[in-house]
Chain A
Amino acid sequence: MTKEPSALEIERNIGNFAYPETHTHDAGVGLTEKTIHYISDIKEDPDWVRQFRLKGYETFLSKPMPTHWASKDLEAIVFDNIRYYLSAGTQPKRSWEEVPEDVKRTFERLGIPEQERKFLAGVEAQFDSEAVYSNIKKAVGEQGVIFVGSTEGLKHHPEIFRKWFGKVIPIGDNKFSALNSAVFSGGSFIYVPPGVKVKHPLQAYFRINAENFGQFERTLIIADEGSEVTYMEGCTAPKFNTATLHSAVVELVALKGAKIQYITVQNWSANVFNLVTKRGLAHEDAEVKWIDCNIGSRLTMKYPGVVMKGRRARGEVLSIALASDGQHQDTGAKMVHAADETTSNIISKSISIGEGRATYRGLVQIPKHLKNCKNNTECDALLINSTSRTDTYPAITVRGTGNSVQHEASVSQVSAEQIFYMQQRGLTEAQAMSLSVNGFVNDLVRQFPMEYSVELKRLIELEMEGSVG
């Protein structure tokens, strides 16, 4: 973490649908109040957003790093070396030749189309998916669904946006939510009107552009009464990026009887600190489900949460983490029961390879005055090598009578006998390993959309090839 001036290789703002023109702006290195004003000026923020950012900045400064409980590796982040806002045209393009071989190889194996490869590798600033996005936008637009970038959302739909923005995850929730509040750009805003069931998943991928792959995305999804929507963030292809800090905030609001499913596949390059806050608010009879898959990054800290605010609300987190050499996947879930008859389910599977480390942190709260609440937690860890590491930190607070909690945890290791058995059938050691690992996550992956599960399988194969001598 020495020199960071050329930190952002992907151009940040080109292709933002709110600002289709090319900008040439660079907030410079480091974060001061001036930086915040600079960003607000360029983005032509309404005054309330500027104030929101400034408050975020203040809060960010006042909060300590969470190193008393989290990884000391966080100390490696040098906030003064980071560029917090950068728009198009401010940096030279990377050439395809400069893209590392292993990244190219992965694209090849995943069958990523040529054009997308260039974008993902930071060679092209924009992946030409405008047409696809327009179609989707038109299709859902007919149902009254709003699906735009967050910048456009806060400008053109302030009446809905302001009502919920920063309410599920307040500025001061943690140091990194405060940072995001100060410098956010990019991310999606979605509003689904009452009773509308969005058939196809909405993908950030459809409106893929530099800003969406930015460091400080901010996404807000509101599903009005009785509506249903699935959102997919990211893709399994590795995102090559020399920027070292990614800190997003995602807020979900499921009103009465609504259902939101949010799917993430995170595959940042191995130098990225991925410190993300994600939380959903489930009203009466509503359901919020997070499917969270972490493959890339150097350190990921992410604990998607659901606050079950209304009676019979449901919360679910299904997560898979793959920690290879030099990686620490510190993930988990938070389930806050705040009404009677609410139920939550957490299933977490982690795989540690080589010297990789996977940590599960779970928080389940059921206060005394509530009745008939249920939580089920299962966390399973698979260790590939003897140097692999896994830790589990469940924090379960259940009070009162008539509430039930079930917690199961297991740690297993791919055994030499199992690998030998598979090799005897003709599979190479790497094939045997990846089959074992795929088997381990199989029941979870089956709940993923088809294209994700196929890509995930291939990614696991790739990781295993690398892990076997």
Chain B
Amino acid sequence: MSQLSIQDLRVSIAEQEIIRGLSLRVPKGEVHALMGPNGSGKSTLAKVLAGHPDYNVTAGKVEMDGENIMELEPDERARKGLFLAFQYPSEIPGVSIANFLRAAVQARLPEGEELEATEYYAKLYEKMDLLEMDRSFTSRSVNEGFSGGEKKRNEILQLAMLQPKYAVLDETDSGLDIDALKVVAHGVNSMRGPDIGILVITHYQRLLEYIVPDHVHVMVQGRIRRSGGKELALELEEKGYESYEAAEELGEPAVA
């Protein structure tokens, strides 16, 4: 039961069906990669899992450790242990990273309990060191004027601080140079363990050289077309997604 489980999920936006009967299980302790071409619905899936209000879930359900989370508000899902590293994180002008994260950590404490400031900063600095971030970073406004790499690093910092049960990383590699990619991957790898299930969404195989997945899934036009081990990522790198897309066009069954 310790898993993030997606069953026969169907999602539409403005009458158009984007996710068309998708099932996927990410047990705790594992890292799964979800790969697919642009427009396959990967990012939609990430947002739907987090509870984005723009999408209309028409069928299926998502369970976290056996509990259906589809009726929960985004913040309730988050507090229950679901984390989404955004592909395009929002800017929050005037709110420092330190204050933002502090509010987020505080939100997870039982009512009436106050966050211990020294403890919080000790943990924050530890995670920042891990991600090779300068201390001065915390006084900057959240994502405001950040480079692509800084934004992604900030997402991973939040992941490390909030220690979710399940993390979805949406295109975390986009906009990263190789050095930043290594740092981010190092951050994610340091979190791997029996207490967290991670779903890495990516278009390219490159990230998976550094965050080696236990399983790889190929998503095309709103469905998982194939699942396999880490070698599947390499195969995709060579052959591309064309064969899957062609099969989808013809309405043929998934490539074996």
Contact = CB atoms under 8 A, between A and B. Distances in A.
Interface of A: 415-418, 420-429, 431-432, 435-436, 438-443
Interface in B185-244: none
Contacts of B84: 424
B162 interface: yes
B75 A440 contact: no
Given A423-B74, A424-B50, A435-B103, 15 more contacts: A415-B90, A417-B90, A418-B90, A418-B91, A418-B92, A420-B90, A422-B92, A425-B101, A426-B78, A426-B104, A428-B75, A435-B92, A436-B95, A439-B93, A440-B93
Contacts of B89: 421
A439 B94 contact: yes
B3 interface: no
B39 to A, nearest CB: 20
A435 B100 contact: yes
B94 A441 contact: yes
B69 to A, nearest CB: 13
B108 interface: yes
Contacts of A438: 94-95
Contacts of A428: 73, 75, 107
B127 interface: no
Q: Which of B83, B104, B108 has the most CB of A within 10 A?
A: B104
16 contacts: A415-B90, A416-B53, A418-B92, A421-B89, A422-B90, A422-B100, A424-B50, A424-B78, A425-B103, A426-B108, A427-B104, A435-B92, A440-B93, A442-B94, A442-B95, A443-B94
Given A420-B52, A431-B107, A435-B103, A425 B162 contact: yes
Nearest to A416: B53
B107 A427 contact: yes
Given A420-B52, A420-B53, A439-B141, A425 B94 contact: no
> For chain B, which range describes its interface: under 10, 10 to 19, 20 to 34, or 35 or more residues?
20 to 34
Interface in B66-92: 73-75, 78-79, 83-84, 86, 89-92
B158 interface: yes
B171 to A, nearest CB: 15
A423 B91 contact: no
Contacts, number: 79
A425 B95 contact: no
Contacts of A431: 103, 107
A423 B54 CA distance: 14
Q: Which of B51, B100, B108, B141 has the most CB of A within 10 A?
A: B100
B78 A425 contact: yes
Nearest to A444: B94
Contacts of B141: 439
Nearest to B47: A420
Interface of B: 50-54, 73-75, 78-79, 83-84, 86, 89-95, 99-101, 103-104, 107-108, 141, 158, 162
Contacts of A436: 92, 95
Contacts of A421: 86, 89-90, 92
Contacts of A427: 75, 103-104, 107
B75 A429 contact: yes
Contacts of B103: 425, 427, 431, 435
Contacts of A417: 90
A462 B107 CA distance: 17
A440 B89 CA distance: 18
Nearest to B77: A424
A287 B121 CA distance: 40
Contacts of B104: 425-427
A423 B75 CA distance: 4
A337 to B, nearest CB: 31
A272 B89 CA distance: 42
Q: Which of A418, A424, A436 has the most CB of B within 10 A?
A: A424
Q: Lowest 10 CB-CB distances: which A-B pairs, in order? A: A439-B94, A439-B95, A442-B94, A421-B90, A423-B74, A426-B107, A425-B104, A423-B75, A426-B78, A418-B90
Nearest to B92: A439
Contacts of B91: 418
B172 to A, nearest CB: 15
Contacts of A439: 92-95, 141
B100 to A, nearest CB: 7
B42 to A, nearest CB: 17
Contacts of B107: 425-428, 431
A443 B162 CA distance: 27
Given A421-B90, A439-B94, A426 B53 contact: no
Contacts of B90: 415, 417-418, 420-422
Nearest to B83: A424
B97 to A, nearest CB: 11
Given A416-B53, A435-B103, A425 B158 contact: yes
A416 B51 CA distance: 13
A417 B52 CA distance: 9
A431 B86 CA distance: 20
Contacts of A426: 75, 78-79, 104, 107-108, 162
Contacts of B93: 439-440
A156 B91 CA distance: 57
A291 to B, nearest CB: 18
A425 to B, nearest CB: 4
Nearest to A435: B95
A7 B92 CA distance: 44
Contacts of B94: 438-443
Nearest to A443: B94
A443 B83 CA distance: 30
Contacts of B50: 420, 424
A457 B74 CA distance: 24
B108 to A, nearest CB: 6
Contact of B74 (A418, A420, A435, A440): A420
B153 to A, nearest CB: 16
B92 A424 contact: no
Nearest to A418: B90
A243 to B, nearest CB: 36
Nearest to B84: A424
A420 B54 CA distance: 10
Contacts of B108: 426
Nearest to A445: B94
